[in-house]
Structure 1
Amino acid sequence: MALEKVPTGINGFDPIALGGLPSGRCTLVTGSTGTGKTLFAMEFLARGVAKYGTPGVFVTFEEPPADLRRNATSLGFPIEQWEAEGKWRFVDASVDTSQESTTTGYYNYAALVSRIESAVNTINAERVCIDSIGAVLARYPNVASVRAELFRFVSHLKELGVTSVVTAERLQEYNGVSKLGVEEFVLDNVIVLRNVLRGERRRRTVEIVKFRGAPHRTGEWLFTIDPIDGLVIIPLAFLRPGTHASTERVSTGNPGLDRMCGGGIYRDSIVMLTGPTGSGKTLTGLKFTQAAFDAGERCLLYTFDETLEQLSRSAMGWGLDLAAMQQTGRLRVVSSYPETASIEDHFLNVRREIETFQPRRVVIDTLSALERIVAPRGLLDFVLALSALLREGQISSLYTSAPTGRFTSSLTPAIASEIASLIDTTITLRYVVRAGNMHRVIAILQHRGSGHDTAIRQVAIDDDGMHIGDPLPDATPLHDEEDYTP
């Protein structure tokens, strides 16, 4: 018989845990400094109260309750109110650990268990958090004593019938699970939080090492700590099954491209536009934006490649006054260099803009710029999470991306290949050589659910924008930058 699961309510964690933590058992949450152990414990209790109406007891060995209440305020958790309502109870063991001699070689677990039992019974608690057990385990003279006493303590928690989270420290990210090396063997479940420095940037991940007798997803999952939303596992916090597919068509802003797409793109489409530098990606994004503006729709234009001033200057060259468009309230332009934040924080910023501005269209120019700050898996998680949000809101969206190098034989960048199954329409802009001259061309590689033009067509760019012309037969792709002779 499958173990019952207790949902944590933590953003994106329960899909990894396939429903939550095993009911009535103890889960070890271990991690180095700054990984979010206390926050995980806090959210497990707080979201249990807020979402599921299950009272909880928080046992603290380090931070006093006053500090924990204050920290919870930014996340919108009214701890003091819950205490008054009998939904939350603190057991402050920080005084005990500070007063007992560190040389005594033991800790009075019996007294602590009695206090926890009293708190649990007083408010009928179903969840208990212990933060952090490492403050006590270090007092024991040897590993055998640690294991025996920890087993006794965990057994008492199980007898109370609560689902508990116990936090503990670890010294290294990929060498062992816990600091003393025995905690993970005593407790039924083990979750590891990591905060790894890679490429001069930190990357937080969560991994379920074991659920004794219960299934779970394996591997490391990217997460961030948001000052408002707390722990957010990306992309699982945002992946939801779709419920509707639109049949309404909207314009791309280019009549020729609309004709190639069979009359435009579907309202809830996500379009990937790829091409080397100078091929017309930003211009297409600006025209896509203008199409939204002309239709009376809100559009969010997010650029990772240029400043607002540079983008406005380029737009003005094609007759688009971005400042005037923004003043109407129908356009919001956000310029953010990739290096100013982590990929997770960039995602949360884009998400917040979408939630506050409520656009009908979104342009991201370009995904390629984000490759400077993140590994391919991290960028894939970013796009997966963002695409899930856009689909849920039925927002017409355009991503742009460039292959590696100015001129490349690859039709699509790596990220475009990775997310091909998520994209509705894939359009590529290319440089080709014909009769000794270089030409721009455009082709539609994919247009899900609709007929489309399969020709490779010539493209011209002038002061009026991009013009799509006749098919260009016998064109040879320009493979490498050294093949280009100005």
Structure 2
Amino acid sequence: MSDNALEKVPTGINGFDPIALGGLPRGRCTLVTGSTGTGKTLFAMEYLARGLAEYGQPGVFVTFEESPADLRRNASSLGFPVEQWEREGRWTFLDASFESTQETLTAGHYNYAALVSRIGNAVRATNAARVCIDSIGAILARYPNVTSVRTELFRFVTHLKELGVTSVVTAERLREYDGVSHLGVEEFVLDNVVILRNVLQGERRRRTVEIVKFRGAPHRTGEWLFTIDPVEGMVIIPLAFLRPGTHASTERVSLGNPDLDRMCGGGVYRDSIVLLTGPTGSGKTLTGLRFAQAAFDAGERCLLYTFDETLEQLSRSAAGWGIDLPAVQGTGLLKALSTYPETASIEDHFLNIRREIEAFRPRRLVIDTISALERIVAPRGLLDFVLALTALLRPYEITTLLTSAPTGRFTSSLTPSIAAEIASLIDSTITLRYVERGGSMHRVVAVLQHRGSEHDAAIRQVFIDASGMHFGEPLPDAPSSLSGDVTP
């Protein structure tokens, strides 16, 4: 950091500080703006609560709308002991809702002096390093014109700076992509601007956070996906889960099919993430079940997610291949879960998978199929999901099999750039396809990618019988286009 660089104050909000390149600039005011339901109050609450819980920095919360009692309950649901902090003198609520609703406050005559004095007294009594104002719009709307708003807001922000605190000020906006704030001047007065959005896309809500400016300080640009979790609060995906590179395993793990193991040079590495693509009926689920069976045979735990079938359907399919799925689950080595993509957002599906991994501690994971998630998310969202998943799995060295079915008969709906980015996150890519020969359709398999290891580059015919899946000799006349579709 250069001598002139502003020091950052970490927010502690899950995944936000990587966007902010360390946190909010110390001693300055940050405007957090958004439409109804975007999470402005939650951002302010978490900024204060995590500052105290994780960094020992007391805070003052000024509320113009919600009562302190409601805010205490909301904070308690996230595990923050605000009432205890209040008793200890490390957290102070200032309820300014009475002032903001007084009929005697005629437009243009509100005086910030009394409020600033109260905030200053609370900051000194609490020895606060952080202050939140939620929401400044309750007062600004009373001024007759934008010139008055700008003048008075500038004075108010100047007083906050003189207190030496790092503050968050929330404000409303009417539309998601038209302007920054309601009155159109707040963003010019405050040093930093963060926008929270809650956009309806394809009948589903998509939450994003964007840092518009940090005056005199660097930050990441663009919109970043986040969710509001009832346990963890704001979670920005995938940045909340990215970690520095970990140890690369050299241990080989069986995929549950001896022919496939041979094509992969003796199996896959312990920390591998394997993508198996193929159309309906090509053998993806069978491969996933054999992969889970191999975990059981090795005495390892396996977590199996299916987004396409019920557990009853999956058990029926497994029984057809000689696998008693309920019995294997009964041993405690397999946990099979079934859900449909439409039951939750892509972010919430990811958080549910993460919680299952942390609780069950599997050595293997099967997700069948991730392409089903395309029904609820844009391509960029699917990329974020895969990126966060790989960041989560690698430190645990969980051998993972992801299956995927093309949305069209032979092609994927993903854009080439997104498809290439997803492929770059995968260690091994195996494709199952149908090819036409002699007037009939034949299954074939090819290992398109096997990072860090030799592998069989041949396109081999696939036979499925009562005992499972077997590979035949290479097909010299297999179509060269087979290798073109390698992504979800």
TM-score bracket relative to the smaller structure: over 0.9
CA distance, structure 2, for counterparts of residue 115 and residue 300 of structure 1:
54
Q: Which amino acid aligns with 2:194?
A: I
The correspondence of residues 103-252 of structure 1 with structure 2, limited to 5 A, is 103-252=106-255
- The CA deviation at 1:468 is 1.4
Segments of 5+ residues of structure 2 without an aligned counterpart are: 483-488
CA distance, structure 1, for counterparts of residue 287 and residue 414 of structure 2:
18
- The CA deviation at 1:299 is 0.6
SS of the residue aligned with 1:208?
A: strand
SS of the residue aligned with 1:47?
A: helix
Superposition RMSD in Å = 1.7
- The CA deviation at 1:390 is 0.7
CA distance, structure 2, for counterparts of residue 283 and residue 415 of structure 1:
28
The question of 1:341 aligning with 2:341 is answered no
Question: Equivalent residue for 1:266?
Answer: 269
Q: Structure 1 pair 192/328, CA: closer, same or farther in 2 (3 Å)?
A: same
The correspondence of residues 49-448 of structure 1 with structure 2, limited to 5 A, is 49-408=52-411, 417-448=420-451
8 A contact 1:299–1:360 mirrored in 2 = yes
SS of the residue aligned with 1:325?
A: helix
Q: Which amino acid aligns with 2:284?
A: K
Question: Equivalent residue for 2:486?
Answer: none
CA distance, structure 2, for counterparts of residue 373 and residue 417 of structure 1:
21
CA distance, structure 2, for counterparts of residue 261 and residue 40 of structure 1:
47
Identity of aligned residues (%): 82
CA distance, structure 2, for counterparts of residue 86 and residue 265 of structure 1:
56
CA distance, structure 1, for counterparts of residue 428 and residue 48 of structure 2:
44
CA distance, structure 1, for counterparts of residue 182 and residue 126 of structure 2:
33
- The CA deviation at 1:258 is 0.6
SS of the residue aligned with 2:159?
A: helix
Q: Which amino acid aligns with 2:253?
A: V
Q: Which amino acid aligns with 2:340?
A: Y
2:37 to 28, 34, 40: 34
CA distance, structure 2, for counterparts of residue 192 and residue 104 of structure 1:
27
- The CA deviation at 1:404 is 2.6
Q: Structure 1 pair 455/239, CA: closer, same or farther in 2 (3 Å)?
A: same
8 A contact 1:368–1:402 mirrored in 2 = yes
- The CA deviation at 1:122 is 0.8
Q: Structure 1 pair 411/105, CA: closer, same or farther in 2 (3 Å)?
A: closer
CA distance, structure 1, for counterparts of residue 249 and residue 74 of structure 2:
43
In the alignment of these two chains, the number of paired residues is 479
CA distance, structure 2, for counterparts of residue 411 and residue 472 of structure 1:
29
CA distance, structure 2, for counterparts of residue 107 and residue 467 of structure 1:
80
Q: Structure 1 pair 408/150, CA: closer, same or farther in 2 (3 Å)?
A: closer
CA distance, structure 1, for counterparts of residue 34 and residue 249 of structure 2:
45
SS of the residue aligned with 1:237?
A: helix
8 A contact 1:275–1:412 mirrored in 2 = no
Q: Structure 1 pair 5/410, CA: closer, same or farther in 2 (3 Å)?
A: closer
8 A contact 2:246–2:394 mirrored in 1 = no
CA distance, structure 1, for counterparts of residue 347 and residue 71 of structure 2:
25
- The CA deviation at 1:224 is 0.3
SS of the residue aligned with 2:458?
A: coil
- The CA deviation at 1:418 is 2.8
8 A contact 2:134–2:169 mirrored in 1 = yes
- The CA deviation at 1:190 is 0.3
8 A contact 2:379–2:415 mirrored in 1 = no
- The CA deviation at 1:54 is 0.7
Q: Structure 1 pair 477/464, CA: closer, same or farther in 2 (3 Å)?
A: farther
SS of the residue aligned with 1:420?
A: helix
SS of the residue aligned with 2:184?
A: coil
- The CA deviation at 1:168 is 0.2
The question of 1:463 aligning with 2:466 is answered yes
SS of the residue aligned with 1:66?
A: helix
TM-score with structure 2 length normalisation? Answer: 0.95
CA distance, structure 2, for counterparts of residue 472 and residue 409 of structure 1:
24
Q: Which amino acid aligns with 1:55?
A: P
What are the superposed Cα offsets for residues 173-200 of structure 1, whole Å, 9 maximum, x if unpaired? 0010000000000000000000000111
Question: Equivalent residue for 1:482?
Answer: none
What are the superposed Cα offsets for residues 396-443 of structure 1, whole Å, 9 maximum, x if unpaired? 001111223233499999865331221111111111122333211111
Q: Structure 1 pair 457/415, CA: closer, same or farther in 2 (3 Å)?
A: farther
8 A contact 1:433–1:476 mirrored in 2 = no
Q: Structure 1 pair 277/413, CA: closer, same or farther in 2 (3 Å)?
A: farther
8 A contact 1:404–1:413 mirrored in 2 = no
The question of 1:23 aligning with 2:22 is answered no
CA distance, structure 1, for counterparts of residue 479 and residue 274 of structure 2:
26
- The CA deviation at 1:100 is 4.5
Q: Structure 1 pair 116/421, CA: closer, same or farther in 2 (3 Å)?
A: same
TM-score with structure 1 length normalisation? Answer: 0.96
8 A contact 1:29–1:165 mirrored in 2 = yes
Deviates more, 1:416-425 or 1:315-324: 416-425
Q: Structure 1 pair 269/413, CA: closer, same or farther in 2 (3 Å)?
A: farther
CA distance, structure 2, for counterparts of residue 276 and residue 189 of structure 1:
49
What are the superposed Cα offsets for residues 6-44 of structure 1, whole Å, 9 maximum, x if unpaired? 110100000100110001000000000000000000000
What are the superposed Cα offsets for residues 327-350 of structure 1, whole Å, 9 maximum, x if unpaired? 111111111111111111111111
- The CA deviation at 1:98 is 2.5
Q: Structure 1 pair 239/230, CA: closer, same or farther in 2 (3 Å)?
A: same
Q: Which amino acid aligns with 1:441?
A: V
SS of the residue aligned with 2:61?
A: strand
CA distance, structure 1, for counterparts of residue 259 and residue 106 of structure 2:
81
What are the superposed Cα offsets for residues 347-405 of structure 1, whole Å, 9 maximum, x if unpaired? 11111111111111000111111111110001111111111111121100011112232
CA distance, structure 1, for counterparts of residue 360 and residue 77 of structure 2:
23
SS of the residue aligned with 1:309?
A: helix
8 A contact 1:125–1:162 mirrored in 2 = yes
CA distance, structure 1, for counterparts of residue 412 and residue 118 of structure 2:
69
SS of the residue aligned with 2:477?
A: coil
